[in-house]
Amino acid sequence: MDIIDREILHLLQQDATRSSRELGDEVGLTPTPCWRRVQSLREAGIIEREVAILNASQLSLDISALVQIRTNEHSAAWLADFTAAIEEFPEIVEAFRTSGEIDYMLRVVVPDMNSYDDFYKRLIERVALYDVRTIFEMEELKRTTALPLDYAPFDNP
């Protein structure tokens, strides 16, 4: 990966619908070599997928919550069951196993408080949890899917 690849990645993180011609114009390449570079980045697994980022409010998903989960059970069987359970809930858009006092952190989006309450009841019915705490997001200050590319290793010509 070189500086041109990094610039292509930067541009694609802003708008993945750019054509090879548009990308090439930005980085100083003709469309074909630019297309080859994008294909190479895909084949290398650097570009995992391209998706549409939707506006939650336009879809009536006005509540976003961070759900902190603690468990007394740390067996492989419990983790497998928990992992399967979180896949069953479309409201869970992100899930992480974490260090410290909190074992797992979920990001949940729902239309309203009643929907969150329904989600919560289904979650605790589905999987055994020791403690569940919810933090409701009041104001979004920053959200991005763009990764900081300054740390990516690259060959400097």
Residue 107 is part of which domain span?
57-136
Number of domains in the chain: 2
Q: Is 44 exposed, middle or buried, given 0-12, 13-18 or 19+ CB atoms closer than 10 A?
A: exposed
- Do residues 76 and 39 share a domain? no
Q: Are 141 and 121 in contact (CB under 8 A)?
A: no
Classify residue 7 by its DSSP letter. Answer: H
pLDDT for 133: 97
pLDDT at residue 109, as a whole number: 98
Q: Where are the alpha helices (DSSP H) in 1-157?
A: 3-14, 20-27, 31-43, 76-87, 113-126
70 lies in the same domain as 84: yes
Q: Is the pTM of this model over 0.85?
A: yes
pLDDT tens-digit map of 60-73: 999 999 999 999 99
**Stretch 32-53: mean pLDDT:** 96
Q: What is the pLDDT of residues 100-136, one digit of tens each?
A: 999 999 999 999 999 999 999 999 999 999 999 999 9
69 and 43 in a common domain: no
Nearest to 67 by CA among 1, 17, 12, 136: 136
Residue 55 has pLDDT above 90, yes or no: yes
